[in-house]
Homo-oligomer: A and B are copies of this chain.
Amino acid sequence: MQQQAATAADEVDFVSGRTRLYGIVGDPIVQVRSPEMFSATFRRRGIEAIMVPLHVAPDAFEPTLRGLMALRNLDGLVFTIPYKVRAVPFASTLGAQAATVGAINALARDGTQWKGEIFDGLGCVEAFRRRGIALRGARLMVIGAGGAGSAVAVAIAHEQPAFVRVHDVDGARAEALAAKVARVSSDTQVEVAPPRIDDIDILLNVSPAGMLDDARLPLDVATLPPQLVVFDAIVKPERTPLIQLAESCGCTTVFGREMMRGQIDRMVDYFTGVDG
């Protein structure tokens, strides 16, 4: 008797028992774009792996993380809001950016241990480089001093901007970030102050204001000067209220998705050990 051949409808080709797992950990999770973007990068590179969304509740973060890291076929995790700082203790070793920022967005299996690094800032710098927008000597307003905000500001500080104003709803967090920026780039003038853009070249929103159905702007303005460059780290929606306002005012806009693209290749290198 013949074995019945499997038909195309019986099986998919994108996951099997051999697939290595990666996950993005966040709360909420539906807005993340890492699953489709990392999984595409794995496929393009011929890596038999997939990235899935992992919705972890704040009251279950630590035990859930331990459970995930015990999975023998899970090789790495990406962290998004609100876990970039809380994930740090799970790394046995920290990369240079993470050590300064005090947050990670990538945790990779490294032999019997796990290494952590943050790539948000490097991705943002890369997005500006690809656009040909100079950060060196520029005057910047950074809104948001959490994990992503810190990563962006620290990476930008390495580019030696002339001036960085930092704001966060948590004043102590803003002060801590300003100190880090000053440490990285001693020639940069740094201040902590509420959002103001009249003296600014580049506005960077790295706060959650405007994410998903949040209709808020990260700052209280009705218009923006057309020469302002506006970056929003949010990837969903792509056209945040801030980006929409910037477009209507004729500003140059840089998208969170560009930052993501800039960092995904670096992160896949990190996950797969290409960078050691």
Q: A residues engaging B (CB < 8 A)?
A: 1, 3-4, 6, 9-19, 21, 24, 27, 29-37, 39-40, 43-44, 50-57, 60, 63-68, 70-73, 131, 236, 238, 252-253, 255, 257-258, 261
Closest 7 CB pairs of A and B: A67-B67, A11-B36, A55-B72, A55-B73, A17-B32, A60-B70, A15-B35
Contact in complex: A17, B53 (CB < 8 Å): yes
Tell me whether B70 and A64 are in contact (CB under 8 A).
yes
> Contact between A67 and B73 (Cβ–Cβ < 8 Å)?
no
Contact of A54 among B39, B40, B71 (CB under 8 A): B71
Which B residues touch A36, using CB under 8 A? 11-13, 15-16
Q: CA A12 – CA B43 in complex, angstroms?
A: 9
Using Cβ atoms and an 8 Å threshold, which residues of chain B touch A14? Answer: 12, 14-15, 39
A43: chain B residues at CB < 8 Å are 12
Specify the chain B residue showing the minimal Cβ separation from A239.
B3
- Contact between chains at B1 and A53 (CB < 8 Å): no
Q: Which residues of B contact A39 (CB under 8 A)?
A: 12, 14-15
